A and B are shown apart, each in its own frame.
Chain A
């Protein structure tokens, strides 16, 4: 009696494993569905939503024009203590990686800050990377900005590799994420 139960149980387990294996094969990802990087969304592995914003100097920068370069987008405001605390870290890594093509776009949430405070802060901290002014809040909205600071690491193909909500971000973490941006898609030429 027991040997029959063992026998049927063995068949049942093999059946479960076969069904599981078949489902894995049937439900495998079609190539079209793996291309989430073609959809623009503020989420890791998706294409970074595009924006066109003015710099403090009056020039305009469009994110999609920066394809080919690793980009760090940092949303900040001058009244936000962790944003203020982490800015020197960004300046430090910018100086380290600028020659390799790293771009830092510090997007000031001007719709909830003042332009003059942003200018003062950038000057006081000797920030040399572009400070962009999100006056209408359109970029903040397209990135679903819930909290300041928020930092988005975008690779050379324009795909979001990492989003860090909150801060201050220490230098080692920024370095590790930058190195990943340089490692991803090494075949993409650095312009």
Chain B
């Protein structure tokens, strides 16, 4: 656990820095592979920055909309640099809407775009796990296994490490997939989605959380299961489509 990086008098928040690094590495990785999916790397870069900006502004607006009482007499706080004044769910929704709108406006195939975005998402999933490891959040349940780590008063499963391993394996699989000669548009993204939700269901079983629905069933696992079911259904239709639309990689 390393929540801050101290550089002389400067104290930098490690989890946020890791996420920023992840964004930079992921976008570079995706841009390098974009041409393989008939997506212009410059367009991909533009979409990533537009959605990031839209996400941040959207998250602030959503936060204000959810708690307007809090800004009474403190309107200047609307432009505060504090990252805690953001609503992540609202930001993601607005970012997705703006991103899709831009893709449709530019007549870019959503399936090919999502394929080219998969490496970015894979790296961001890794960065998120590493960020959780740095902050000590997203911790595991108690264990007696020899690789357990001492965290928050007991020996726990290092679930953040498990997630990092799952993320690396998924990225490795994606890299292998890129070398494939023929694939349906959207297949890489759907495969990425099913693999990610698959390992999240499994590793989620070792995560300590209070977000349970009934009988102790974790909400995160149920969401991952639903995503897995949807992605497997789409995957089946992609592998055995009614019509044929196959991309031949250069």
In the complex, the answer to whether B152 meets A33 with C-beta atoms within 8 Å is no
Which chain B residues numbered 127 to 143 have a C-beta less than 8 Å away from chain A?
Answer: 136-137, 139, 141-142
**Contacts A39-B154, A43-B137, A43-B152; A34 near B212 (Cβ below 8 A):** yes
In the complex, the answer to whether B85 meets A170 with C-beta atoms within 8 Å is yes
> In this assembly, does A29 line the interface, its C-beta being within 8 Å of a C-beta of chain B?
yes
In the complex, the answer to whether B137 meets A44 with C-beta atoms within 8 Å is yes
**Contacts A147-B4, A173-B82; A24 near B205 (Cβ below 8 A):** yes
In the complex, the answer to whether B236 meets A13 with C-beta atoms within 8 Å is yes
In the complex, the answer to whether B239 meets A9 with C-beta atoms within 8 Å is yes
Sort chain A's interface into a size bin. Answer: 35 or more
> In this assembly, does A61 line the interface, its C-beta being within 8 Å of a C-beta of chain B?
no
Stretch of B27-35, B65-73, B103-111, B177-185 at the chain-chain interface: B65-73
Contact of B85 among A17, A39, A44, A172 (CB under 8 A): A172
Contact of A172 among B13, B71, B205, B240 (CB under 8 A): B71
**Contacts A24-B221, A176-B70; A43 near B210 (Cβ below 8 A):** no
> In this assembly, does B96 line the interface, its C-beta being within 8 Å of a C-beta of chain A?
no
Please, which residues of chain A bring their CB within 8 A of the CB of B3? 144, 146-147, 165
> In this assembly, does B222 line the interface, its C-beta being within 8 Å of a C-beta of chain A?
yes
**Contacts A171-B74, A172-B67, A172-B74; A28 near B82 (Cβ below 8 A):** no
Stretch of B41-49, B160-168, B225-233, B242-250 at the chain-chain interface: B225-233
Smallest Cβ-Cβ distance to B153: which chain A residue? A39
In the complex, the answer to whether A25 meets B198 with C-beta atoms within 8 Å is no
Please, which residues of chain B bring their CB within 8 A of the CB of A169? 82, 84
Which chain A residues numbered 6 to 45 have a C-beta less than 8 Å away from chain B?
Answer: 6, 9-10, 13, 16-17, 20-21, 23-31, 33-34, 36, 39-41, 43-45
> In this assembly, does B77 line the interface, its C-beta being within 8 Å of a C-beta of chain A?
yes
In the complex, the answer to whether B13 meets A166 with C-beta atoms within 8 Å is yes
Sort chain B's interface into a size bin. Answer: 35 or more
Smallest Cβ-Cβ distance to A178: which chain B residue? B70
Please, which residues of chain B bring their CB within 8 A of the CB of A39? 152-154
> In this assembly, does B8 line the interface, its C-beta being within 8 Å of a C-beta of chain A?
no
Please, which residues of chain A bring their CB within 8 A of the CB of B152? 36, 39, 41, 43, 46
Smallest Cβ-Cβ distance to B136: which chain A residue? A43
Q: How far is the CA of A33 from the CA of B70 in the complex (A)?
A: 35
In the complex, the answer to whether B141 meets A33 with C-beta atoms within 8 Å is yes
* Minimum C-beta distance from B192 to chain A (A): 16
Q: How far is the CA of A173 from the CA of B137 in the complex (A)?
A: 21
Which chain B residues numbered 209 to 228 have a C-beta less than 8 Å away from chain A?
Answer: 209-210, 212, 215-218, 221-222, 225, 228
**Contacts A24-B217, A36-B152, A41-B153; A176 near B11 (Cβ below 8 A):** no
Smallest Cβ-Cβ distance to A36: which chain B residue? B208
Please, which residues of chain B bring their CB within 8 A of the CB of A188? none
> In this assembly, does A2 line the interface, its C-beta being within 8 Å of a C-beta of chain B?
yes
In the complex, the answer to whether B210 meets A45 with C-beta atoms within 8 Å is yes
> In this assembly, does A164 line the interface, its C-beta being within 8 Å of a C-beta of chain B?
yes
> In this assembly, does A84 line the interface, its C-beta being within 8 Å of a C-beta of chain B?
no
Q: How far is the CA of A140 from the CA of B177 in the complex (A)?
A: 50
Contact of B77 among A6, A27, A170 (CB under 8 A): A170
> In this assembly, does A52 line the interface, its C-beta being within 8 Å of a C-beta of chain B?
no
* Minimum C-beta distance from B215 to chain A (A): 6
Contact of A36 among B205, B210, B216, B239 (CB under 8 A): B210
- Of the A-B pairs whose beta carbons lie under 8 Å apart in the complex, a sample of 26, sorted by A's number, is A5-B240, A13-B233, A16-B198, A17-B225, A17-B229, A23-B201, A24-B205, A24-B222, A27-B205, A33-B142, A34-B212, A41-B152, A43-B136, A43-B139, A45-B210, A144-B3, A146-B3, A166-B13, A169-B84, A170-B74, A170-B80, A170-B85, A171-B77, A173-B70, A173-B84, A176-B70
Residues of B within 8 A of A (CB): 3-4, 6, 11, 13, 67, 69-71, 73-74, 77, 80, 82, 84-85, 136-137, 139, 141-142, 152-154, 198, 201-202, 204-206, 208-210, 212, 215-218, 221-222, 225, 228-229, 232-233, 235-236, 239-240
